[in-house]
Chains A and B, each alone.
Chain A
Amino acid sequence: AQRVTQPEKLLSVFKGAPVELKCNYSYSGSPELFWYVQYSRQRLQLLLRHISRESIKGFTADLNKGETSFHLKKPFAQEEDSAMYYCALMPGAGSYQLTFGKGTKLSVIP
């Protein structure tokens, strides 16, 4: 069975400081990893996925298969980054359900 762990429930950083939201996963195969974000009073939406290797809103995430991690990073936090962030895993190979972590609430202090 797959599992996603986000060790921080809440992360507070000052505006302009670097941000790193941690995500570790356990799965024996080669899953697809995602970061979803939920801004206040908005629906859950995809932020980025590891296969696209793109930077969205200044965020990047690198899949480290050795450490089974998929940490989300941004060099300079902005106030509009304050939101709930969820790391998610899709096993693939016939199984397309998303398994989510419990989420990390990011608060950017002006």
Chain B
Amino acid sequence: DAGVTQSPTHLIKTRGQQVTLRCSPKSGHDTVSWYQQALGQGPQFIFQYYEEEERQRGNFPDRFSGHQFPNYSSELNVNALLLGDSALYLCASSFLPGQGYEQYFGPGTRLTVT
């Protein structure tokens, strides 16, 4: 089991563009959470998907949206990119979204907005 995988590894976009990041959860996991980690900061929760629905959302604007597919993989979309969106985007998966279920993290996608 490769664990949580994310693609691409690195991405460079221009301000105003749109980007899609992808995540495949660990085998047996059905819940995917996305986090943004700016340089020198801890990961910040964006949203969580379970049963193909957004179950919880952090303090991020509507420019950030996502999707979960029937195979539990997930996408994070960011529209109208800003320079401040430059960060490492982490995907984490777990079995069920509840308390007591460990979240496993992927290696992240490094997004640079110029």
Contact = CB atoms under 8 A, between A and B. Distances in A.
Chain B's interface size range is: 20 to 34
Contact of A43 (B58, B98, B99, B107): B107
Given A101-B42, A102-B42, A92 B56 contact: no
Contacts, number: 53
A103 B56 contact: no
Contacts of A45: 104-105
Contacts of A83: none
A4 to B, nearest CB: 8
Interface residues of A, number: 22
Contacts of B92: 98
A47 to B, nearest CB: 11
B70 interface: no
Contacts of A100: 35, 42-44
Contacts of A36: 105
Interface of A: 4, 32, 36, 43-46, 49, 51, 86, 88, 90, 92, 95-103
